[in-house]
Copies of this chain bind each other. A is one copy, B any other.
Amino acid sequence: MMNSEEKSLPEKLADDIVDYILREKLQPGDRLPNESILAETLGAGRSSLREAVKLLASRNIVTVRQGSGTYISSTPGMVEDPLGFTFIEDKKKLAEDLLEIRFLLEPSIAAKAAENASADDAEHILDLCAEAERLLEEGSDHTAKDIEFHTAIGMSSKNMVVPRLIPIINSSIPLFIDLTENVLSRETIDTHREIADAILSHDPVRAHDAMYLHLVYNRRRIHSV
């Protein structure tokens, strides 16, 4: 998206730090060397280095903790709203199009989760299901819990791309809850529970179909708006 000729010194230095992180195999939570050591290692001035670290922080590659140091972020490189949905004006069409993508992905992902979920995974999914249910029943905002539920299913599929993809696709959930004004839906609760049960009992076909049904109910509600 950016040609290297157009890059400023701090931008080039940010790339060097990324290379350093990869070369040294630094993991989420690991600390970067302190400023003077890193400046020497990379042959850079300290003020350019500070600029470069700010750029990496804005891309969520590192997290700066004041007085403590600079650490590799927990999901390095995953930024908020990475597809720039903030800048799409037609939110109704966006919600429909996101739901269309969810139809393509989530039933098969639920099936893979039913195949691959560990006992801990399944228990975690059941917990999230119960919590979302409780929030929905008491009329509280269940958006975050809903996204956590679908992300946990994605994690259980053991496809390493899915947990990074699902929270983005599921940005349709807040849009959708907005559009439908958070009306309590019996079908949402019931299909959530059926998906969770199917994963717990390692039944991929039932997990697939329950997720499909869940999305059908969602689409009907969007279309009735």
Q: Contact residues of A with B, CB < 8 Å?
A: 1-2, 11, 18, 21-22, 25, 51, 54-55, 58-61, 75-90, 93-94, 97-98, 100-101, 104-105, 108-109, 159-162, 164-165, 169
Contacts and interface: CB of A to CB of B under 8 A. Distances in A.
Contact of A98 (B98, B100, B161): B161
A108 B108 CA distance: 14
B82 A78 contact: yes
A83 B164 contact: yes
Contacts of A61: 84, 87
Given A22-B87, A58-B59, A104-B108, A159 B81 contact: no
A82 to B, nearest CB: 3
Q: Which 8 A-B pairs have the closest CB atoms?
A: A77-B84, A82-B82, A83-B164, A97-B159, A76-B87, A97-B161, A55-B58, A1-B80
Could you say how many copies of this chain the assembly holds?
2
Contacts of A18: 86
A58 B55 CA distance: 6
A1 B78 contact: yes
Contact of A101 (B22, B78, B165): B165
Contacts of A51: 54
A25 B22 CA distance: 39
Nearest to A108: B104
A60 B2 CA distance: 9
A123 to B, nearest CB: 24
Nearest to A161: B97
A67 to B, nearest CB: 14
A218 to B, nearest CB: 15
Contacts of A59: 58-59, 79
A84 B164 contact: yes
Nearest to A94: B160
